[in-house]
Amino acid sequence: MSETEPVTNGTERPAETTAGETDERTREAWREYEFAGETKLAVEDLDVYYGDDHALKRVSMDIPEESVTALVGPSGCGKSTFLRCLNRMNDRIGTARIDGSVELDGQEVYQDGVDLVELRKQVGMVFQAPNPFPKSIRDNITYGPRQHGDIDTGLLARLTGRDDSEAADRLVERALRQAALWDEVEDRLDDNAMGLSGGQQQRLCLARCLAVDPEVILMDEPASALDPIATAKIEDLVEELAEEYTVVVVTHNMQQAARISDQTAVFLTGGELVEYDDTGKIFEDPESQRVEDYVSGKFG
Amino acid sequence: MAGAAESTVVREDTSTYEAVAGLTVGLAAILFFLGLAATVDIVSVTGTLAGLGTLTALGLLLVVMGLAVVAFGLASYRGIFPTDPRASAGLVAATLFSGLWFLVGALVGSETLGLGFGGGLAVGLLVGAVGFAATALPREDIGSTLPAGALAVLFGLVFLLGVVGPEWSWSPASFPDSQSVTFFARTIAPFAVILSALVVGWAAAKAYGGFGARGRHLGAYLLVYLNAIAIIAVLVALVAFVVVKGFAPVTESVTVGLGVGPATTIALFGFSYEVVWPVNWPFLMNGASLFTDVTGVFPAIVGTAWLVVGAVLLAVPLGVGAAIFLTEYAEQGRFTRVVEVATNALWSTPSIVFGLFGAAFLVPRFTPQPQKSLLAGMITLGFMLLPLVVITSREAMIAVPDEYRDASAALGVSKWQTIRSVVVPAAMPGVVTGVILGVGRIAGETAPLLLTMGGGSFVGAGQRAKVLDSFQLSLSPPFVTNPELTQATTALPYQLYQVVLTGTGETAGVTDITAFGWGTALVLLAVVLLFYAVGIATRQYFRSKLTYE
Asked if A92's CB is within 8 angstroms of B426's CB, the reply is no
Question: Which CATH architecture does the domain made up of B296-468+478-546 adopt?
Answer: Orthogonal Bundle (1.10)
Mean pLDDT, residues B167-177 taken together: 76
DSSP assignment of B465-520? --TTTT-EE-SSTTSEE-GGGGS-B--HHHHHHIIIII-HHHHTT-S-HHHHHHHH
Q: What percent of chain A has pLDDT over 90?
A: 27
Of A89, A118, A193, the CB nearest to B410: A89
Beta-bridge mates of residue A216: A123, A246
Shortest CA gap A300–chain B (Å): 28
Report the 10 Å Cβ neighbour count for B114. 9
In a domain, A179, yes or no: yes
Give helix B185-208 / helix B140-160 axis angle, nearest 10°: 150
- Helix runs in chain A, H state only: 24-32, 79-86, 116-122, 137-147, 155-159, 165-178, 182-185, 198-210, 228-241, 254-260, 279-284, 289-295
Task: For residues A251 and A237, give the distance between their C-alpha atoms in angstroms, rounded to a whole number.
Answer: 15
Task: For residues B216 and B203, give the distance between their C-alpha atoms in angstroms, rounded to a whole number.
Answer: 9
Mean pLDDT, residues B435-458 taken together: 81
In a domain, A30, yes or no: no
Residue B502 has pLDDT above 90, yes or no: no
Of B407, B409, B414, the CB nearest to A133: B407
Asked if B545's CB is within 8 angstroms of A120's CB, the reply is no
Of B403, B412, B425, the CB nearest to A117: B412
- pLDDT tens digit sequence for B94-113: 999 999 999 999 988 888 88
In a domain, A84, yes or no: yes
In a domain, A9, yes or no: no
In a domain, A24, yes or no: no
What is the average pLDDT value for chain A, to the nearest integer? 83
Q: Does A121 touch chain B (CB under 8 A)?
A: yes
What is the average pLDDT value for chain B, to the nearest integer? 83
pLDDT band (50, 70, 90) for residue A215: very high
Residues with Cβ within 8 Å of residue A200, at least 6 apart in sequence:
A181, A184, A185, A230
Helix (H, G, I), strand (E, B) or coil at B53: strand
Q: Are B67 and B138 in contact (CB under 8 A)?
A: no
Of B331, B403, B422, the CB nearest to A127: B403
**Minimum mean pLDDT range among A233-237, A255-259, B258-262:** B258-262
pLDDT band (50, 70, 90) for residue A20: very low
Rounded to a whole number, what is the distance in angstroms from the first to the last CA of chain A?
Answer: 20
**Residue among A258, A260, A290 at smallest CA distance from A272:** A290
Mean pLDDT, residues B52-69 taken together: 90
Domain that residue A194 falls in: 36-295
In a domain, A31, yes or no: no
Task: For residues A128 and A226, give the distance between their C-alpha atoms in angstroms, rounded to a whole number.
Answer: 10
Report the 10 Å Cβ neighbour count for A175. 25
Task: For residues A258 and A279, give the distance between their C-alpha atoms in angstroms, rounded to a whole number.
Answer: 6
Task: For residues A39 and A256, give the distance between their C-alpha atoms in angstroms, rounded to a whole number.
Answer: 24
pLDDT band (50, 70, 90) for residue B428: very high
In a domain, A174, yes or no: yes
CATH code of the domain covering residue A102? 3.40.50.300
Residue B396 has pLDDT above 90, yes or no: yes
Task: For residues B323 and B328, give the distance between their C-alpha atoms in angstroms, rounded to a whole number.
Answer: 8
Q: Does A210 touch chain B (CB under 8 A)?
A: no
**Residue among A237, A242, A286 at smallest CA distance from A73:** A286
Task: For residues B391 and B347, give the distance between their C-alpha atoms in angstroms, rounded to a whole number.
Answer: 9
Return the sign of the alpha-carbon dihedral for residues B383, B384, B385, B389. Answer: positive
**Residue among B439, B445, B491, B495 at smallest CA distance from B465:** B491
In a domain, A162, yes or no: yes
ipTM for the predicted complex comes to 0.82
DSSP A219: E
**Minimum mean pLDDT range among B211-215, B257-261, B302-306, B534-538:** B257-261
Q: In chain A, whose CA is at the least distance from the CA of B332?
A: A94
Q: What is the pLDDT of residue B146?
A: 92
Return the sign of the alpha-carbon dihedral for residues B341, B342, B346, B347. Answer: negative
Q: Does B413 touch chain A (CB under 8 A)?
A: yes
pLDDT band (50, 70, 90) for residue B154: very high
How many structural domains are present in chain A?
Answer: 1
Amino acid found at B235: L
Q: Does A192 touch chain B (CB under 8 A)?
A: yes
- Strands, E assignment, B215-294: 255-256, 263-268, 271-276, 279-280
